[in-house]
Structure 1
Amino acid sequence: MQITLMKGKNHRASLPEADLHHEGSIAIDRKLLDEGGFVVYERVEIFNVETGARFGTYVIDAPEGSGTVGLNGATARLAIPGDKLIVVAYATFNEAEARIFRPRIVRVDGENRILPG
């Protein structure tokens, strides 16, 4: 049996930018990607805390330390700058792996800087 679990999450990131005319994706600060265990081009689910919208896209990296969390292409229509987003990646595990696995959860402040703890 295979079980799908949340492997990583960026919790309540602020959306500073959305670019309808950029190739579709979500650009995320490299530091946030690394801390959350995300891989460039990985499929992610995005939850807009403000509207309840849920949608998927893939990840591209933004410069480390930039604080960038930017929606691109069609996804830019699903949130506006200032919205809070939760970005989640999933992985599939066998039952034994699932019982011991712990996801990487990254909480950020209003400027998308990683909070301690």
Structure 2
Amino acid sequence: MAGDNPFKAAWSRSGNLLCHGHWIIHWNGEALELPEPRREKDMGTWAIYNIMDPDDEIFAQGLKEDEWIIEHVDWLTDLFFDNGIPLETDNYRAFYQAINPHDWRCTSCAGCM
């Protein structure tokens, strides 16, 4: 995707206790409200979620971009439609690319260890 990503994403918590946060997502500066089941959970994107060995792919989990979009296309399409976001492939990819660096997993912060 060329240019700046129109989506900006962040997880409200950092450090320990990531599981007590929520998603903060904007489209071109406008806040988006995720569906209730998605607001306070990881998004299931692909990455290595291991605080002890963040470079070892044996600890990788989640879905890579194409697979993730296919798996989540229904609720994403509803979210986009409800917020006037064009239903274009680039926007689905941009959403994934915005959330992926901020995604997390239980134990990825070691707060519960």
TM-score, normalised with respect to structure 1: 0.26
Which of the pair is proportionally richer in helix? 2
TM-score, normalised with respect to structure 2: 0.27
* Greater RCO (Cα-Cα under 8 Å, separation 6 or more): 1
Which of the pair is proportionally richer in strand? 1
